[in-house]
Chain A
Amino acid sequence: MRQRKYIPVYIALGMAGLLMALPVLMMVCNSVMGGQELKEAYGAVLGDGAGRLSARLLPVYPTLQPYVELLLDSPDFFVMFWNSVKQVFAILLGQMAVGTLAAWAFARYEFRGRKILFLTYMILMVMPFQVTMVSSYLVLSRLSLLDSHLSLILPGIFSTFPVFIMEKFFRGIPGEVFEAAKVDGAGELTSFLRIGIPLGSPGIISAMLLSFLEYWNAMEAPMTFLKTKAKMPLSLYLPEITADQMSASFTASVIMMLPAVLGFLWGREYLQKGIEASGLKE
């Protein structure tokens, strides 16, 4: 009885939700369309411009052929895919090492300069890429790191965003736990490794997930700091797939989307917690 008044709400949300999910659904469905069928459907937009568009959600003749073609016959795709993987995971590992330590320092200790340093980290977090673009370029060129994987990885590792997220989680660990550890004679490093890391792991996971989504999607930095095509990540290569590889472009989009969406579905709750943490005031 009480449920009934929610029906309009469900309808509204359902329609909005469909709009949100439509691009994903359509892309996945189209990625199993054969080349001929795609040409008929989208030739007008992505091809030479002749004919009319007849977009359809479900393929008439579903096939996995585009996947086979892309994975076996396009060496470029492979190179770029691995570039993305290398760059993103190097950044994540680095952030995990450097960021957790810093977050721990901010969360657990009252030290001189804490306030101003934390404020600096927060300001750096909100600065758009374009503000630090010149300075990063200059320093990377001085260190002769331009046009290398490291030119993306090193600045990425020292991003302050994960520090900010993890700090919130570390701060949430109740103090009594540490008192108990101290009584047992645990040193500062031990209590970080034995208590901080395990109890703060939801924070670490959610920060890493947010970072993963961010760097998997990276565009500004690789565009600016890389020149050689063979080093580009997938996010820059994808848009270059042209009309003659129409089926490849859908398939490649789906393959690129897959790790992000799977990670997202796996860690949805962590992600949610992470986002909530980003909204907490200090």
Chain B
Amino acid sequence: MKRKTQKTAYLFLFPSLMGTAVFVLIPFVDVIRRSFLKAVGNTFVGLANYKDVLANQAFQEAVRNTARFLGVCLPLLLAVSFGTALMLYRLPAAKAFFQTVFLLPMAVPVASLVVFWKIIFHGNGFLNEILAIFWIQGKEWMSTDAAFGILVFSYIWKNLGYDIVLWIAALSGIGEEQYEAARVSGAGPWECFRYITLPQMKPGLVMIGVLSFVNAFRVFREAYLIAGDYPHESIYMLQHLFNNWFTKLDIQKMSAGAVMMAAAVSLFLCLLERWNEKQPADEDNRT
């Protein structure tokens, strides 16, 4: 009986597992192997490829920029979306309407958006026209440091609604009776927020953080469409670097780079998971 369920489960799983193995898992193992080999002749070169990549100036620059981008935009998005969710959560009317409006950017294809971004941030663009009213000299925004800010803005614009939905789901998980009990014993709105709401947001925070992290890598689309292969140095990120390695078909560098990136992402996830497990507040949320 038991063995039969095992078999059924694997039968259901089989097509997906096969495809994943053929298209992702086995090729990735091959990439790990290649990352230790020389381009020509397949001789074993140990960590030479890794050293190459790590010493590569473009790589260092891209890692710095990617880390800086994640470091700025993740906390910012989490904070802004949490704030908005708090406002939306108890709204007496039009809650669904606002949620729809905030989610709308998710449905707007990046390619459609590019024209609009150009109109705003071009040297003769909208932003400069507005600044000109206040006698401020504008500039070609996308080819200055401001490119970084524009990218952060597009990321937040695009992902705000997604995160708001997640926060509201987390907020709705808190039973109303907890607030009532606190209010009866004389707690004000701030105490309620500080001692009831915040502690119970921790597991939510981790998951929302992970999903926002995943989505952060998609910002390459905006960056690429607005600024091309070699954008302003402040937004030259790992995705650009991989793309340029790819154009040169530098398989060795790409392999070593991909392995390191996979390791970094996995490590980040494990650390987060560990931190999350340690939180006592998590206990009652686990199913």
**Taking beta carbons and an 8 Å cutoff, which residues of A are in contact with B?**
2-3, 6, 9-10, 12-13, 16-17, 19-21, 23-24, 26-27, 42, 44-46, 49, 52-53, 55, 97-99, 101-102, 104-106, 108-112, 114, 117, 120-121, 123-139, 154-155, 157-158, 160, 163, 188, 192, 213, 216-217, 219-220, 223-224, 234-236, 238-239, 249-250, 253-254, 256-257, 260-261, 263-265, 268, 271-272, 275-276, 278-282
Contact = CB atoms under 8 A, between A and B. Distances in A.
Contacts of A160: 20
A281 B258 contact: no
Contacts of B12: 101-102, 104-105, 109, 192
Contact of A239 (B22, B94, B111): B111
Given A45-B118, A138-B31, A20 B105 contact: yes
A136 B285 contact: no
Contact of A117 (B13, B26, B160, B213): B13
A276 B167 CA distance: 9
Nearest to B254: A134
Interface string B111-140: 111111011001011100100000000000
A17 B84 CA distance: 11
Would you list the 4 A-B pairs with minimal beta carbon distance, nearest first?
Answer: A102-B16, A135-B27, A109-B9, A158-B19
B15 A272 contact: no
Contacts of A114: 9
B184 interface: no
30 contacts: A13-B88, A13-B91, A20-B104, A21-B104, A23-B105, A24-B108, A101-B12, A102-B13, A108-B9, A111-B10, A123-B265, A129-B217, A129-B239, A130-B239, A131-B261, A133-B254, A135-B31, A158-B19, A160-B20, A217-B111, A219-B111, A253-B111, A253-B112, A253-B116, A257-B108, A260-B108, A261-B108, A263-B107, A278-B211, A279-B169
Contact of B98 (A13, A131, A192, A261): A13
Given A268-B103, A275-B162, A124 B115 contact: no
Interface class of chain B by DSSP: helix
A20 B102 contact: yes
B144 to A, nearest CB: 17
Interface in B209-230: 210-211, 213-214, 217, 220-221, 224-225
B125 A188 contact: no
A51 to B, nearest CB: 8
Given A3-B92, A105-B9, A261-B107, A13 B119 contact: no
B6 A112 contact: yes
Contacts of A131: 258, 261-262, 265
Contacts of B5: 109-111
B208 interface: yes
Nearest to A224: B246
Contacts of B242: 130, 133
Given A27-B115, A132-B28, 17 more contacts: A10-B94, A13-B98, A16-B84, A23-B105, A24-B108, A45-B122, A104-B12, A109-B12, A111-B9, A127-B265, A134-B254, A238-B109, A253-B112, A253-B113, A261-B104, A275-B162, A279-B211
B40 interface: no
B17 A102 contact: yes
B109 A260 contact: yes
Contact of B210 (A26, A126, A154, A235): A126
Interface class of chain A by DSSP: helix
Nearest to A123: B266
Contact of B119 (A49, A53, A102, A254): A53
Contacts of A101: 12-16
Contact of B103 (A106, A121, A264): A264
A26 B116 contact: yes
Contacts of B104: 20-21, 24, 261, 264
A86 B228 CA distance: 27
B118 A219 contact: no
Interface string B240-256: 00110010000100110
